[in-house]
Structures are given as structure tokens and as C-alpha cells.
Amino acid sequence: MLMLVLGKGKTGSLVAQVARERGHSVRVMDRENAGAAALTAPTVAMVDVILDFTTPEAALENMRACLALGARVVVGTTGWYDRLPDMKALALRRGGALLYSSNFSIGAQKFFQLTAKLADLDGYTYTISETHHTTKLDAPSGTALSLRDILLARHPDAHIEIESLRVGDANGLHVVTAKGPSDQIEIRHEAFDRRGFAEGAVLAAEWLAGKSGAWAFREVFDKVLGDKL
């Protein structure tokens, strides 16, 4: 497969490296500065999947440009989900494909599943804490918001607080706490580096090839693992 990675930051560069390790051809474009005009029809047509790891503003421009041309796009950038319905509609209207996630790490996806099981408890109150590096732009993190959505799906009237910390060069720590009258349960996921995100994103891109539609990675995670591992 030929993959186009948008974003030359730490995660985008590692995504390109992992894709090459898995035998794919890769082009990398710094889409945070180049402008949407660089994503022309010939450029988009020659690649199988586009992976975006840029900024919220750049990611929206990228999706508009690529999905309008019927491209298949994997988006690991967060902070743009208020426009998610528009991007889904564009993908469906143009016959493209959109696969997005607040966290493509395989471990984080398992963490989401465990959180859904934890949410089955009644009589508990839930809180979330997240810690990231000081240069992370969004707070709360997209992963923390996903965790809150999972809990709210089971407890729609609950007030779930999120504590956001920005410390040094932390790669990402998320803790979900369920506190009851007699005990307390905590589950946590800590990323030691960015490789887990990159590996999951490349698996997602491999799964997306040849498909049309729009999905959250959580919706197809088990299928991705079944196809690729």
C-alpha cells in the first residue's frame, strides 16, 4: 500500500516509520503549513490511505480536501469533534472513508473496553484524571473525553469530573476511578512512548483500504485485530 502521512511531528514521523516497517510505501507531507491546496486530486488519487496527525485546524482542512475527493482518511488528531457530523456526511456523500480515534493505541482500546465493563457498576461515582506533556494543546485530552462518553452511555445523568494535568514530557496517563460506599476501583493506562499510537494507526489504515463509510476506531477495533493479528 501507498500511505500519505500528514504531519511531520513526533507521532506523524513515527507513523511513517512503522508503516515502512510493515512493508508499505510512505509519503510524508507537512500539512500544518502547506495549505489545503497541496492536496490535489492527482496527489490524493495515487495513495491508498491518508493518515492525519497534525493540529485540529489543519486536520479539518485536510479532511475537507481529501474526503471531497473520495479519499480514505485515518485521523489521529483530536480537538475537532464538534465538526464530526459534517465530516462523516462528507465521507458518505463522496464515497470516501473516515476512521477516527482519540487514541489509536491497542492498549488504550482495551482500556476503553475495560472502562465500559466498569461502567456496569451501579451505586458508584466516576472520575477521570489525565496527565500529558506540557505542549499538548487540548485539555481535557481526547482520550479522557472518550472515557467520559463511555461512562455517560451507561450513566447519562452522572456528573463525571475530569482532572487534566500537564507535566514535563509525559506521554499520557489516564486513570478511571469508580468510588462506592464501601470500596474504590481504579483502572489506568499509561503510555511509555508514542509507538503504540503509531502501530494502531497503521493497523487502522490497513483495515480501511478499499472501504467506504465512517467509523470510530472503537467501533471496528475487534475487526481490525481479527484481520491483522
Catalytic residue list = 132, 136
Q: Which of 20, 192, 189, 5 is nearest to 112 (CA)?
A: 189
Residues paired with residue 5 on neighbouring β-strands, in sequence order:
28, 51
Whole-number Cα distances in Å, 179 to 130, 146, 184: 17, 20, 4
Q: What are phi and psi of 18, to 5 degrees?
A: -65, -40
Contacts by residues 141-144 (CB-CB < 8 Å, ≥ 24 positions apart) = 141/78, 141/102, 141/172, 141/174, 142/78, 142/79, 142/81, 142/102, 142/103, 143/102, 143/103, 143/108, 143/172, 143/174, 144/174
Q: Are strands 173-179 and 184-190 parallel, antiparallel or unpaired?
A: antiparallel
CA dihedral (167, 7, 143, 82) in degrees, to 10, reads: 120
Q: Which amino acid is at 146?
A: S
